[in-house]
Amino acid sequence: MATKVYESGYVTLIDDREVYLTPLKIKYLREFMDYFDLIKHAKTDDDSIAVLSHCALVIFKSQFPEIKTIEDLEDLLDLKGVYKALDIAAGIKVNQESEEPVKKQATESGTTWETLDLAELEAEVFLLGIWKDYEELETSLSMPELLATISSKRDSDYQEKKFLAAIQGVDLDKQSGKADSNAWEQLKARVFSGGQASDANDIVSFQGIKAQQAGFGVGAGLGYEDLRTK
């Protein structure tokens, strides 16, 4: 059974040191996405790599402060390491061996802000009363953690309503047709699969907390082959 909300991993520096990375906290993901948005203006692979290098710098500044500048990044990390860091911390997938343009690979794999009402999601989870302000919330949670928390809160709220309705002889499942909207399920699938899944029923979305709830998942005894990369 899967027990992780998100996938993490190590990136090996040029000097053979290993740096442990996790998905970016929302505070740093905002800065990351500001840089990532610039890739739409890239005309060549070199332009795209320059943008992605600045994105990687945001990752390392927040999780490995020894890397503070682009020069530090270039001294300590090769392109393979940059791509692995982007995958772990933000779900941006670029295959160095692929003949597809870097821009196309990056923009088709990552999550964007365009369809995400982050303010509404943060407002919902803020009601738990754990954080003193939104700054603290964004410093504490990554997107997978935020969505897992909201999912758990919504499930708990729904179960309570279902119990109270049952006391009154009402089957809430039949009356309301179970809680979460299709849009919400698709958003969770995208985040939990690192941008690979576009549908809540896509097998690659069964990772982390979703896999735990289902009782199985990718990386937990269930193998899969993504034919879209062939």
Range of the domain at 73: 9-109
**Is residue 76 a contact partner of residue 67, using CB atoms and an 8 Å limit?**
yes
Same domain, 24 and 83: yes
Cβ neighbors of 229 (< 8 A, separation 6 or more) are 95
Burial class of residue 107 (count of CB atoms within 10 Å of its CB; 0-12, 13-18, 19+): middle
Query: How many distinct structural domains can be found in the chain?
Result: 2
Q: How many CB atoms lie under 10 A from the CB of residue 216?
A: 12
162 and 105 within one domain = no
Same domain as 96, residue 45: yes
If asked whether residues 43 and 131 sit together in one domain, one would say no
User: pLDDT per position in the chain (230 positions), as tens?
Assistant: 455 667 889 999 999 999 999 999 999 999 999 999 999 999 999 999 999 999 999 999 999 999 999 999 999 999 999 999 999 999 899 998 898 999 999 988 755 566 567 888 899 999 899 999 999 999 999 988 998 898 888 888 888 888 887 887 777 777 665 544 556 566 666 665 655 555 555 544 545 544 554 444 444 443 444 444 44
20 and 104 inside one domain: yes
pTM: 0.68
Of the residues 66, 84, 109, the one at which a domain ends: 109
Let me know whether 132 and 210 are in one domain. Answer: yes
Among the candidates 109, 140, 162, a domain finishes at 109
Q: Among 73, 88, 109, give the residue marking a domain's end.
A: 109
Count of residues making up the chain: 230
The full DSSP string for 117-162 is: -HHHHHHHHHTT---SSHHHHHHH-BHHHHHHHHHHHHHHHHHHHH
